[in-house]
Structure 1
Amino acid sequence: MTKLSLSSFPANTYVTCKQCAKEINIYHLADCDFIVCPACRAYLEHTAGTEFQLKRTLNKLEFVPVITIGSIGIIDDEEFKVIAYIEKREKDTSYKWREYILFNYAIGYATLSEFDGHWSIIKGKEFFPDLVDIKDGHSSNIRYLNSDFQLFNKYTPQTIAALGEFGEDILVSKINAVEFVSSPYMLVKEKQGQKFEYYFGEYIEPKKIATAFNIDINTFPNRIGIGAIQPSKYLDRWNSLFTITGLAIIGVLLIHLLMGYLKPEKELFYESFQLIHSEVNGNNTIKSFASPSFDITDNSSNLEFFISSAVNDNWLEASMVLVNEQDNRTWEVSKGFEYYSGYEDGESWSEGDRYAEIMLSNIPKGKYHINIYPYSGDPNRDTLLVKVTANASMWRNTLLTCLALCLYPAYCWYRMRNFEKKRWDNSNYSPFVS
């Protein structure tokens, strides 16, 4: 866009108010059909030359304009002069908002709209020529600039009070407005009779406006709630993290598969042992035993112990001591399991397992055996299956890592969704309400 010099704006024209005889400053007489006297609020209609006639007197302003009429500012390299200020409300509701009419001498008019401290700049086909390509219809969704705009609001705006100059009669214009949003953008369709026009809006931060017009940011109204097109920082984070986290999870899985390829699982032994029971002081005990010797050939390995027995309505526990036969170093682990089943109220039930798994990590290279000390509440339990696997695939750790990677993206998704739900609370067309 071209940045204009101040000299691009035409010279001011001065006319006399028909009601209070005060002098009124007009910035663009050629397009001025109506003007409001800042002294007495007289609403004057342009008849010819510099002649105006009194139509009526408008209400007093409810708010003090943040931007003074006549101010010049540069927004996105486009120079604007503020030529009017309007206070509006939605017909048959209590919703009110403020609009500042901006004039760019080379291009045309734009509007700065403020509602509950949320600002947007709205421009027409003079700035976005492809707006004329949007077809009129009754769809709740419009595709524009590679974004899907969803129906957000339908309303009839009414002027409460105004100040400045206008190119149309703002008191009798019967416009039906329809807003479509795709944060931080908005499409506004204004329809009068069979004629319609689209406008494109973008959320704008108060700081940017304050900088453009050299205004103290502290004079701006405080934000209330969430604006219709207010951008969500969590949406940006979610969109970024969705891709990054997906790639990270793929990386973790590839590393897991690579480690499995470089250090494949190896079954060291798989054997069913006979349990020998004895009675000591009236208590049932099971004689301990040792496994056959086996070799760990990698410099460091994890070992998975799998024990199983067909217990029923009972339990079994085993303490296992891994012994290095070269230096007598030991590693001890204990694990138990229980299984119960029955039939009640016409249905069978069961709980527990008939097996358990135990993992040891960083076991050095060497020759080993296992001393096994079983315990059971079942005096008839006669076998215990034991399997030892080296370099067992540690899917649990991998899945926990993937889950940890998903925690912050999940938090951002929750905050993003909550933000969107609050945004759509202000709409009768919320996708979050069936």
Structure 2
Amino acid sequence: MHYVCPACESENKLDLTFPVEEYVCNTCSHLIDVAGNKQMKHLKVPTENVALDVGQKGKIGEEEYTVVAIIVKRYGSSIFWREYYLKDSKGNDAFLSESDGHWVFLIPMHPDDFKSKNSKLPTYAGRTYRWYENSQCSIEAAAGFFDEHLDFSIATYKEYVNGTRMISQEKSSKKSQYFYGVHISKYEVKRAFKIANMPYYTGVGIVQPYYFDMKQALNIFCVAALMICLLQLYVYISRTNETVFEQSINFADVKDKELVSKSFTLSGGSAPLKVNAFSAVDNSWANIQLSLVNENTNEVVYTSKDIEQYHGYEDGESWSEGNQSEEFNLCGVSSGKYHFLISAEKEGSLLPAFSGLQSPDSKILISRDKSGVLDVTDLYTAQSTTFIDGKTLEKDTTELGKLVKASFGTSKIDSLINAEGLKLTTDIVASNNDVKIKATWLPVSFWNFGVILFIMIILFVAMLMGKHSFNVKKWKNSSNTPYSTS
């Protein structure tokens, strides 16, 4: 079907299945009355943000539509939106409305289907709709073919919204029409009509859906939480935490060297290895250096930990800080055969200093300083002799050495000095001789389980808060918003 414009004599062609009453010449933009074949008025051409062309075809759902006309409508002096008139193969009407890049697909509906005693909360198809806003508009520009005469008078739009659905009432001086609309994404419109560029969208559309389906998200979170709980239950039943290493390490044994522990085997998936280190520090410190060696891959995980405890009395109040034990995890340790390399040190000397170790016959007095040097005094002659350590004194063959052995009644002077010296010393630092290390394999851990559930709860709460903020923005231009504007 084609029409020759009486104003410019150009042809206007389009394959139409409905009777045309008016059309806008695509050359001179005059509105032409078909019955009288005369020009009515000159119209502006829809150009800004117009995404579709007259005659363009696209498939929405299962139906193919043809764009037969385009109208740009204006509200106030600066608000515009575009309406694309569609026809299917049977001549049925449908519309695409676009404003600020947000799209709505509309079809005509019967006014009697949309009635309610409450004018602000009418119902349709079992859904309650909230009145959004009234707006007055007029035609700013037009193009295409129309099956009725265009009405250029001021029309009133009254819109009702329910989520992604809306009912729009268009009332002019000649008639009143109702349309049922649903949100349609710009990507669906782009695919349907094969459009290269789409209008950029801003703000929140009147029926734009929230970015997440909250019911679906809740179902996903609940199913995920159930799966995590079942997995945790299986791990708890099938596996147990196991102590894989436990030993007391003398500081003297690891002075300037490392102790190689016995090997131990870890079985199962990756899990934390919890290490507890204890030392009887008292107003002092100790340090442990620990290397976990994977005997299969030779990979080494190194860590160092200080153990400190201090206390005192100041300004009439007692105070304390630190602890005699430290606990830490080596995370993500995989299965395999392992051993530890251990070294440790503490504050002060390795040997306790003391004075006043006297022989039973009161002939010999022995003292030791913090460096381990012995001072041996013959109480009868009041002469003193120093020895590097107890072993040296034990091997001494002089008259003094013989007197020491005879007076104490033993040749094992070094052992005697160490044993009796601990009784005499008041050096708490020196009396701390070892550090106890315990390593526990933790295949059963509720930490990760709890963290994941907590994160899921936080995410869902954040999504709920986001949805509330989203809806507030959606309704900010409405005089009937259900949300507080304060």
* Normalised TM-score (structure 1): 0.56
User: Which residue is equivalent to 2:359?
Assistant: none
Cα distance between partner residues in 1 of 2:94 and 2:285: 79
Alignment pair present for 1:395 and 2:371: no
Distance change >3 Å, CA 134–CA 393, structure 1 → 2:
farther
Superposition deviation, residue 391 in structure 1: 3.7
Find the partner of 2:109 among 125, 133, 137. 125
Aligned equivalents of 1:235 and 1:74: distance in 2? 26
What is the 5 A alignment of 1:11-410? 32=21, 39=28, 41-42=30-31, 50=35, 57-63=41-47, 67-69=52-54, 74-90=59-75, 92-104=76-88, 106=90, 108-116=92-100, 118-125=102-109, 132=114, 137-138=119-120, 155-163=135-143, 164-165=145-146, 167=148, 169-178=150-159, 180=161, 182=163, 185-190=164-169, 192=171, 197-205=178-186, 208=189, 212=193, 217-218=195-196, 220-225=197-202, 228=205, 235=212, 247=223, 251=227, 254-266=230-242, 300=267, 304-308=274-278, 315-319=285-289, 334-338=304-308, 355-359=325-329, 373=344, 375-376=346-347, 380=428, 386=436, 388=438, 390-392=440-442, 395=445, 398=448, 402=452
Structure 1 residues 298 and 178, CA gap change in structure 2 (3 angstroms) = same
Q: Which shifted more, 116-125 or 375-384? A: 375-384
Q: Deviations over 1:146-167 (max 9, x none)?
A: 9998887763332112233254
Contact 1:84/1:165 (<8 A) preserved: yes
Letter in 1 for 2:72: E
| Cα displacement (A) at 1:369 | 11
Q: Which amino acid aligns with 1:375?
A: K
Which residue identity does 1:157 align to in structure 2? C
d(CA) in 1 for partners of 2:440 and 2:10? Answer: 97
**Matches of 2:230 and 2:267, distance apart in 1:** 21
Q: Deviations over 1:228-257 (max 9, x none)?
A: 26678x747x98787667655654554444
Give the strand-richer structure, 1 or 2: 1
Contact 2:245 2:264 in 1 (8 A): no
- Identity between Structure 1 and Structure 2 (%): 21
**C-alpha deviation, 1:86, in angstroms:** 0.8
Distance change >3 Å, CA 208–CA 385, structure 1 → 2? same
Tell me, in whole angstroms, the C-alpha distance in 1 between the residues paired with 2:313 and 2:120: 61
Q: Contact 1:265–1:389 (CA<8 Å) still a contact in 2?
A: no
The amino acid across from 1:41 in the alignment is: H
SS at match of 1:264: coil
Counterpart contact for 1:179–1:187, Cα < 8 Å: yes
**Cα displacement (A) at 1:204:** 4.7
* CA shift in 2, pair 1:144/1:297, >3 Å: farther
Partner Cα distance (2:221, 2:133) in 1? 36
Q: Deviations over 1:251-286 (max 9, x none)?
A: 455444433433323568999x8x99xxxxxxxxx6
Greater C-alpha radius of gyration: 2
Distance change >3 Å, CA 41–CA 251, structure 1 → 2: same
Supply the AA of the counterpart residue of 1:258.
Y
Secondary structure of 1:258's counterpart equals helix
SS of equivalent residue, structure 2 residue 93 = strand
Structure 1: give runs of 5+ residues left out of the alignment. Answer: 1-11, 277-285, 324-329
Normalised by the length of structure 2, the TM-score is 0.52
**CA shift in 2, pair 1:389/1:261, >3 Å:** farther
Q: Which amino acid aligns with 2:195?
A: I
Change beyond 3 A, Cα 1:175–1:355: farther
In structure 2, relative to structure 1, the CA distance for the partners of 1:74 and 1:314 (3 Å cut) is same
Q: 1:396 to 1:263 in 2, by over 3 A?
A: closer
Residues 119-150 of structure 1 deviation map (CA, whole Å, 9 limit, x = unaligned): 44222327xx99637886436xx998899988
Deviations 1:303-345 (CA, angstroms, capped at 9, x unpaired): 633235686876443356999xxxxxx998642244679999x
CA distance in 1, matches of 2:322, 2:113: 66
* 1:240–1:57 CA distance, 2 compared to 1 (3 A): same
- Kindly tell me: are residues 35 and 333 of structure 1, through their superposed partners in 2, closer, same or farther at Cα, counting changes over 3 Å? closer
In structure 1, distance between residues paired with 2:80 and 2:340: 82
Q: How much has 1:88 moved relative to structure 2?
A: 1.1
Q: Find the residue that maps to 1:398 and give its secondary structure.
A: helix
Letter matched to residue 238 of structure 2: L
Query: AA paired with 1:259?
Result: V
User: What stretches of structure 2 of length at least 5 have no aligned partner?
Assistant: 255-260, 294-299, 350-426
Q: Distance in 2 between matches of 1:82 and 1:369?
A: 77
CA-atom RMSD in angstroms: 6.3
Which residue identity lines up with residue 180 of structure 1 in the other structure? V
* Cross-structure match for 1:428: 477
Q: Partners of 2:449 and 2:246 in 1: how far apart?
A: 27
Task: Provide, for residues 27-76 of structure 1, a one-character-per-residue CA deviation record: whole Å limited to 9, x for no partner.
Answer: 687795x66566463475x9xxx45998x635422428654545555433
TM superposition shift of 1:113: 2.3
C-alpha contact 2:134 2:156 (8 A) present in aligned 1: no
Go from structure 1 to structure 2 and tell me whether the alpha carbon gap of 1:111 and 1:377 turns closer, same or farther (over 3 Å shift): farther
